[in-house]
């Protein structure tokens, strides 16, 4: 915790050995989001998803597209390259390494063409947390 501001510091979940590089990459990704990330962020900011999310957040050696820390939920939006078998294996490994979090994945097409479904699925994943 940051003693002065009472806020959680960014590196809390990050690997300190790779944080500086990951921080630069995360900042670049926030400045240049994909159309799907931009659309989902618009809905998150409008309160359509019932949790506080951070975008391009560093966890271990990874940068999560969106994370609700309180709910331990990560949303990943996957482009076409995630259809590649090697990348699919990497994605599975990444999800296992992030086992403290529930990871849900959507394709760019799902977000761009069926945002209501993405919102519903995400809120369904949050529902058990909010009922505690």
State the CB neighbour count (10 A cutoff) for residue 26: 20
Q: Which of 127, 121, 130, 132 is nearest to 43 (CA)?
A: 121
Return the pLDDT at 83: 55
Task: Say if pTM beats, i.e. exceeds, 0.85.
Answer: no
Mark out the alpha helices in 46-114 (DSSP H runs): 85-97, 108-113
Q: What are phi and psi of 16, to 5 degrees?
A: -60, -25
Q: Are 52 and 66 in contact (CB under 8 A)?
A: no
Q: Is 64 exposed, middle or buried (0-12, 13-18, 19+ CB in 10 A)?
A: buried
Q: What pLDDT tens digit does each residue of the chain (132 aa) get? A: 344 343 444 567 777 777 887 888 888 888 989 999 999 999 999 999 989 999 999 888 888 999 999 999 999 998 765 556 665 666 666 666 677 889 999 999 999 999 999 999 999 999 765 544
């Amino acid at each position: 915790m940051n003693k002065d501001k009472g806020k959680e510091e960014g590196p809390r979940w990050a690997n300190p050995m790779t944080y500086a590089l990951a921080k630069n990459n995360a900042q670049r990704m926030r400045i240049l989001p994909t159309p799907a990330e931009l659309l989902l962020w618009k809905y998150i900011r409008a309160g359509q998803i019932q949790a506080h999310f951070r975008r391009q957040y560093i966890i271990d050696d990874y940068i999560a597209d969106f994370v609700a820390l309180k709910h331990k939920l990560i949303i990943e939006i996957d482009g076409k390259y995630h259809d590649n078998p090697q990348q699919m294996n990497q994605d599975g490994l990444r999800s296992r390494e992030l086992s403290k979090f529930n990871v849900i994945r959507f394709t760019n097409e799902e977000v761009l063409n069926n945002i209501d479904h993405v919102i519903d699925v995400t809120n369904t994943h949050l529902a058990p947390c909010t009922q505690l």
